Amino acid sequence: MTASVSIWGVGTSRFARQPDTPPTHLAWQAVTEALDDAGVAPAAIEAVYAGTVFGDPGVTTRTLQHLGITGVPIVTVENACASGTTAFHEAQAAVGQGRYETVLAFGIETMTAVFDGPIEPLASDPEGAQGFAMPSLYGMAAQRYLHCHGVAPEQMALVAVKNRRNALNNPRAQHSGEFTVEQILASRPISDPLTLLQCCDISDAAAAAVLGPDRGAHTPAGTPDVAVRSTALASGQAWDHTTDLVWGWQLVADTATAAFESAGIGPGDIDVLEVHDAFTIGEIVTTEALGLCELGGGGALVESGHTSLGGTQPVNPSGGLLARGHPLGATGLGQIAEIVWQLRGDATGRQVDGARLGVVETMGGGTAGIDGNACVVAVLEAPGGRR
């Protein structure tokens, strides 16, 4: 028997290339905001679950000690791009099982300390040994979609147009702007058919959420709790390259099915989503795998305006990874924060009217032979429940 779990508060730093900002400052910005939002003191935190990929050994303990969060269990996980949402998944499980009452989920990444450009592939993987970085893998997925499903380059470019426009109203986002499809397609080629403006950037940031049991209508800070309806975590199956589905599609679909069944919802019930759009084709594939449309229909879905602000099911109102930035360990909790703000009606300038059910999906990958390292799907519910 598990107890109901709620998100008491969230916070993030700015997302940007900020090599002169130490990790301690990023952590202070995110965690202090989350604690204030929750109305709890650092001493109230009973356990920490953190996600980071390229952080120094002990980065969680090193950064949180400056906030007075010491002497408690701290668990740091690395799960590729899904590290932050994996930490969130484990934090909510710990609360739901009654192990702790007040838990901090935390993600941090200072990628500019490690990379000047794209993440370098591991030479120990067969794909890495051939130089297949993530843009190459997503570029091949895009080529297959163009061939098999008729998804047009212009439809992929529309994802970048939409998300960069959304980020105009997100002061924490790394990139934003009004672009045309033609400008997106004319930007520098990266991995055919993907161009520069269709690829996310490395970033430095921290993000945090405070979780605990449902506190009812009266909370210390006066901000309402957001319910965690369900979370699901899975790793990919062995990849035999015989499937007709592109890399990662089945992992996202399976994880979403588990989360939706646990929450008792279907894809049509969702009001707003934050999904893993490290590349434009990624959002198209993910919306299909989540069940928002049929296989091969993701391009037409974005073209129809269905996933735009003002559409039926807005996707990535924050700007997504493409515009907000992609600091791997902090990305998932940045997505969680956005959906919490949306469900509380606090996403000024990019608010999805009447949002009651929100979904976060984060998929991390890159290991040769596996259909994705990990995927987390979380279903969150607004204060007061569904319509």
Predicted confidence at residue 133, as pLDDT, reads 77
Determine contact, residues 230/4, Cβ cutoff 8 Å: no
* Interatomic CA distance for residues 292 and 245, integer angstroms: 17
Predicted confidence at residue 2, as pLDDT, reads 66
Is omega for the bond preceding 171 within 30 degrees of 0, making it cis? no
* Interatomic CA distance for residues 186 and 160, integer angstroms: 13
* Interatomic CA distance for residues 381 and 387, integer angstroms: 11
Predicted confidence at residue 247, as pLDDT, reads 84
81 in catalytic set: yes
**pTM of the model as a whole:** 0.96
Predicted confidence at residue 216, as pLDDT, reads 85
Sketch out the chain's domains with CATH numbers: 5-115+203-213 (3.40.47.10), 126-201+227-381 (3.40.47.10)
Element (H, E) at 182: helix 181-186
Determine contact, residues 171/311, Cβ cutoff 8 Å: no
Edge-to-edge strands, sheet with 272-274:
74-77, 47-51, 103-110, 204-213, 5-12, 226-234, 374-381, 357-364, 272-274
Predicted confidence at residue 386, as pLDDT, reads 54
* Interatomic CA distance for residues 54 and 109, integer angstroms: 7
For residue 374, give the nearest of 382, 364, 385 by alpha carbon: 364
Q: Which of 81, 200, 293, 375 is catalytic?
A: 81
Determine contact, residues 37/210, Cβ cutoff 8 Å: yes
Q: Which of 149, 200, 326, 375 is catalytic?
A: 326
pLDDT tens by residue, the chain, 387 residues: 467 999 999 999 999 999 999 999 999 999 999 999 999 999 999 999 999 999 889 999 999 999 999 999 999 999 999 999 999 999 999 999 999 999 999 999 999 988 777 777 777 777 767 767 788 889 989 999 999 999 999 999 999 999 999 999 999 999 999 999 999 999 999 999 999 999 999 999 999 999 999 998 778 888 999 999 999 999 988 877 778 888 889 999 999 999 999 999 999 999 999 999 999 999 999 999 999 999 999 999 999 999 999 999 999 999 999 999 999 999 999 999 999 999 999 999 999 999 999 999 999 877 777 888 899 999 999 998 654
For residue 174, give the nearest of 289, 64, 331, 34 by alpha carbon: 331
375 in catalytic set: no
Predicted confidence at residue 240, as pLDDT, reads 72
Determine contact, residues 198/191, Cβ cutoff 8 Å: no
Predicted confidence at residue 1, as pLDDT, reads 43
